[in-house]
Amino acid sequence: MKTSQLSAPGQLPLPTDAKVQSFFPTRLLSTPSALRFLHRRTGGIVSRATFYRWLNSGELRSIRLGFRIYIPLRALDEFIRKCMNGE
């Protein structure tokens, strides 16, 4: 098992993204990966600021693990579909 080197002395090592991915049944994307996916699906019409505004407002569902934010792929697909349909 690969772990991060950033854990404090005396604490268990922090899990890497691979460990986090195996814990959840759905595919999770990091925020930069989700933004790239969104740009590919929409032709790049969404700005980075708008993307993070959607995350902060809760319009786009996300999961926070510690200081990291992950977006379920299903939630991102559903969000894109709603936006493209004008909902």
Q: pLDDT tens, 32-43?
A: 999 999 999 888
**14 domain-assigned:** no
Q: What is the DSSP string of 15-60?
A: B-HHHHHHHSSS-EEEHHHHHHHHHHHHTS-S-HHHHHHHHHHTSS
**16 domain-assigned:** no
Q: Which residues pair with 30 in a beta bridge?
A: 70
**2 domain-assigned:** no
pLDDT value of residue 42: 84
**75 domain-assigned:** yes
* Structural domain that includes position 44: 27-84
Domain count, the chain: 1
Task: Look at the pTM and tell me if it is higher than 0.85.
Answer: no
Tell whether the model's pLDDT for residue 70 goes beyond 90: yes
**1 domain-assigned:** no
Contact 73, 80 (CB under 8 A): no
Q: pLDDT tens, 4-21?
A: 444 445 555 545 555 555
**79 domain-assigned:** yes
